[in-house]
Each structure stands twice: as C-alpha cells, then as structure tokens.
A = this chain, B = another copy of it.
Amino acid sequence: MAKEIPYKIYLTEAELPKAWYNVRADMKTDHRPILHPGTLKPVAAEDLTPVFCEELVKQELNSTDRYIEIPEEIRDFYKMYRPSPLVRAYCLEKALGTPAKIYYKYEGGNTSGSHKLNSAIAQAYYAKKQGLKGVTTETGAGQWGTAVSMACSYFGLDLRVYMVKVSYEQKPYRKAVMETYGAKIFASPSNTTEAGRKILAEFPDTTGSLGCAISEAVEAALTTEGYRYVLGSVLNQVLLHQSIIGLEAKTAMLKYDEYPDIVIGSAGGGSNLGGLMAPFMEDKLAGRRAPHFIAVEPASCPSMTRGKFAYDFCDTGKVTPLAKMYTLGSAFIPSANHAGGLRYHGMSPILSQLYHDGFLDEARAVEQTSVFDAAVQFARVEGILPAPESAHAIRVAIDEAIKCKESGEEKTILFGLTGTGYFDLSAYMAYNEGKMSDYIPTDEDLERGFASIPSLPGIQ
C-alpha cells in the first residue's frame, strides 16, 4: 500500500543536506568562461578576490567538485528555518479537480521571506571566516537586502546596502527591517561613492537603478578596508548554495516514493530554479529518469524566451565582467511590473547553458494579470500569500494541472514557492483594483536592448 502523504513533509534536522551539489561537475558542456571587461580574457581568481571572499571565488570557479561540504556553522543557522517544508497542495488539487499531484517546496517561512537567505548566510559566513569587517550589497525590491541583513547580524558583520532610490522612498518598511537587523542603508545613487556622485551630477533627479546600485556597492567594497561585495543571484556560487532547495525536495519526495514528472521554477537571475532543479538535473545529465523542466519568466522581461545567447555585461553600467548567457541586452528596460526579482536582463550562465543544450527543457513567459489570477486562487485555497515572483511558477503549475485534468494524466508536479507577498501588497492592491499592466515588449523594444550587446569578433 502506498504511504499516506501528509500535507507537509518535514525532513528531520539530521536529514538536512551536509553538502551542496555543484551541477557544473556533471554538465556535458560547461558554460563559457566569464571575461574580464578590459582584457576580454577569462577572469582568474586573482581578478575576483578584491571583490569577493576567497572561498567564494573558489566556489565560483569550481567546475569539478560534485559536492561541496556545508560548514557546520551554516548548517546550524539553516536549522533555524530548514529543512523547509515540501507541501502537498491537496486543497489546490481539489479546487482544480485535477488528477495531478501538486507539490511545492516552500521557502517563504523565514523572516527574509524568501529563499535568498540560503545564500546570504553562506556568503556572510565565508566573509566572517576570512576575518572581514563587513560586506556591501545592493537591493532593489529588498528581499536580498533583508536576507543579507539577517545573515550579517547573526555573524556580527557590518553591512552597507545600496538600495535603489525609488524603493528606498516607496518601501520604508523594507528599510526598517534591514535597519532592525543593524544594516546601514543608502539611497542609490548616493554621494558616498564616486559612481554615485557622478550619476547625481549628471542626473540629479534620478530615482536610481539596480545597475547603478551594483556599481556603488562594488566600489564601496573595493575602497573600504576589510570589506567585500556579495550578490544574490546569477553567480555560480549562488546556484551552488541554493541547491539545498532541490536536495531537500528530492529527499522528501523519495521518502514517499514520489518523483516529479515536471519541475517548475520562476526564473529571474536563476537562483531559485537553479537550486530547485539541480539534483533532478543530475538525473537528467546521467541519462536516468528525470523531470521535464520549465523555467517561467514574465512576458515583460523575456530573457530566455525571446533573448539572445551571447556574451553580455552583467550590469547596465558595463563595469562588470561579461558572461555568456541569455540576455535582452544590458540596456533593456522592462516595462513596469510587480515582480521586482524577475526584471533582470540576463540569466545565470549555468541555466543559460543547460537551456541552450536542451537539458532545461522549456522556458515559458506569462503575463502579469494571469500571474496574479493564479496567486489569488492559490492564496484562497492554500492559505499562503505568494510573492509575485513565486506566482509565476504557480501560474504554470496550475496550467499543467489543468492539462492533466483534460487528458486524465496523473502527473506529479513540483514547483518552487520562493517567498511570501507581505511586502508586495501594493501589487495586490493594483490587481484588486484592476490596474495591472500586461505590456509585452514589441520586437522594436527588444531590438533597442539587443543593440547594447557588445560585438566581440572571434569570441564565441
């Protein structure tokens, strides 16, 4: 007889993974190397150590070790909110009348409200271990900034957050959370960096951008004794840390003799989907039974579904290295939407390569109103109010479950519920009032973005 599956599957703390999984070790084709923006040569460790902690640079460049041990101090912190629950969405299944089994891995049950904490605590730990005084970072919507604030507070590190000015002004509560955890917040552009002062002189009324905030945070790390810079997505090290999501999810499913037919994740920079799918991707790369993977992105910022696979800058200011990735061009500006975490012009090089090679099976773009339809439907039956970013995955999970209803197939669906929407209620208000925008970039809009992708003769 099949085991009875509870609403929520919690692994024990003893079952918490002891190592992260590095999917690069199993990839058939590694992603192309990151290039130095000046020399256009692959970056070496010594190019990165002024910016990132030494141990994190090693992780960033490590393409051979399949498993990397999670230090005990990080595991102890993880135990305050992990293993996170794998939830069987019985109520959603019932509401949809689907024969599909729907599971979601819920990462919103910590105060930062998202999966970002999984990497923030790791990056803070290595900074502390290196004897650093503090770190810098940028934040847009504020999830990443909150996660780093919690992590630095725990390890007694100073933290400077460059927060995009428009968010700084419109989201005082996000600022308040970070300050409660002891972080120092600057509205970006600020007059504390050369990059900030330059932009302020040129555009005194600017409300800032993530690209500008990145420039300021990197400069602050480079020019302050005992500081380094931390980043919450796109990087290989981040996907490595986030593999804990997928490792836990897979162990929990196997415990009940379950295995997903479809794995669905929202994709902005790739930190969540990369983490959730990693151990299932291991199966696919090894030629074993594996799920159909779907990356979900907003139709307003369609880097995988409509972007180019090319070397591009990681920031708008073109000061960072170049990565081979799916990109809309660093000058692409997505139309207004409420999923701040999914507005990045590019995509993690690892995910980009896996998508290019056909191992990440599918990317799907969804429109904002339909995403909020799914979010509200989910909230009403499953209780949890999802973040707009997470609701992109919910949209596709519901669509796939409805397909099963039509075909009668009893598929097992797993999606990542990355976070909660407590700080996104202005978005829900706009939805409740019917004031959502569903603007999709035209081909002309995309061409303007593509024009910013550098032409690099002889480099593939």
Contact = CB atoms under 8 A, between A and B. Distances in A.
Contacts of A81: 383
Interface stretch (A276-284, A348-356, A417-425): A417-425
A8 B180 contact: no
A113 B109 CA distance: 11
Interface stretch (A170-178, A325-333, A444-452): A170-178
Instruction: Sort chain A's interface into a size bin.
Output: 35 or more
A7 B80 CA distance: 6
Contacts of A113: 422
Contacts of A177: 385, 425, 428
Given A7-B80, A420-B111, A176 B428 contact: yes
B425 A79 contact: no
Nearest to A106: B109
A432 B179 contact: yes
A266 to B, nearest CB: 19
A429 interface: yes
Question: In the complex this chain forms, how many copies of it are found?
Answer: 2
Contact of A384 (B111, B425, B432): B111
A18 interface: no
A426 interface: yes
B180 A379 contact: yes
B380 A182 contact: yes
B173 A426 contact: yes
Contacts of A380: 153-154, 181-182
Residue of A182, A380, A383, A423 contacting most chain B CB atoms (<10 Å)? A383
Interface string A158-179: 0000000000000011001101
Contacts of A422: 113, 422-423
A106 B380 CA distance: 23
Given A13-B8, A172-B429, A176-B425, A181 B379 contact: yes
Contact of A111 (B376, B379, B432): B379
Contact of A432 (B87, B91, B180, B382): B180
A426 B384 CA distance: 23
In the complex, which of the residues A91, A109, A176, A429 has the most CB atoms of chain B within 10 Å of its own CB atom? A176
Contacts of A181: 379-380
A455 interface: no
A381 interface: yes
A6 interface: yes
A383 B180 contact: no
A319 to B, nearest CB: 33
Nearest to A372: B180
Interface string A1-44: 00000111010110000000000000000000000000000000
A109 B111 contact: no
A91 B154 CA distance: 9
Contacts of A91: 80, 154
| Chain A to chain B: the 6 pairs with minimum beta-carbon distance, closest first | A173-B425, A7-B79, A176-B425, A422-B422, A176-B429, A153-B380
22 contacts: A8-B13, A80-B87, A80-B91, A80-B382, A81-B383, A91-B154, A111-B379, A111-B383, A150-B383, A154-B380, A154-B381, A154-B383, A172-B425, A176-B425, A176-B432, A177-B385, A177-B425, A177-B428, A179-B429, A180-B376, A181-B379, A422-B422
